[in-house]
């Protein structure tokens, strides 16, 4: 089952902050975050593993609530280059593949 992302879209001014949420109804082993710019491939941002290990981007942070099966991506002091569609991908325990959410379209304006 596909994880639910919110919001579906957000518009920011440069320098503003944003939070993108991802929740699943299944027990998760990990949550991945990717950003896709128009006409390009998804690019890895962040991975959060059960047990607290976290790897990713130094200008973007994220959290993973294992009890609630929820993750949030925090974009602070947004830049124009942050614009794109953000996808969370969840990996259920026992499944060796990611299931992606429907994406959050983020637009940063000058």
C-alpha distances (whole Å) from 22 to each of 28, 62, 109 are: 12, 11, 24
Q: How far is the CB of 12 from another protein (least distance, A)?
A: 20
- Using the rule CB under 8 A, is 74 a contact of another protein? no
Shortest CA distance to 73 belongs to which of 102, 43, 32, 27?
32
Closer to another protein by CB, 52 or 110: give it: 52
Number of H helices, E strands in the chain: 0, 11
- Using the rule CB under 8 A, is 22 a contact of another protein? no
**Binding string to another protein for residues 30 to 69, with x set by CB under 8 A, is what?**
x-x-x-x---xxxxx--x-x-----x--------------
**Which one of 62, 91, 106, 108 is in contact with another protein (CB under 8 A)?**
91
- Using the rule CB under 8 A, is 9 a contact of another protein? no
Q: Which two three-digit tokens encode residue 22?
A: 């991802």
Q: How far is the CB of 89 from another protein (least distance, A)?
A: 8
**Alpha carbon 75 to its chain's center:** 10
Specify whether the backbone of 104 is left (phi greater than 0), alpha (psi in -120 to 50) or beta: beta
Q: How far is the CB of 15 from another protein (least distance, A)?
A: 27
């Amino acid at each position: 089952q596909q994880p639910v992302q919110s919001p579906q879209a957000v518009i920011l001014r440069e320098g503003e902050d944003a939070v993108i949420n991802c929740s699943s109804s299944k027990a998760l082993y990990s949550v991945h975050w990717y950003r896709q710019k128009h006409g390009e491939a998804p690019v890895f941002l962040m991975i959060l593993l059960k047990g607290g290990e976290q790897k990713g981007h130094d200008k973007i942070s994220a959290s993973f609530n294992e009890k609630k099966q929820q993750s949030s991506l925090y974009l602070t002091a947004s830049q124009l280059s942050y614009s794109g569609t953000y996808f969370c991908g969840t990996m259920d325990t026992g499944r060796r593949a990611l299931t992606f959410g429907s994406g959050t379209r983020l637009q940063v304006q000058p």
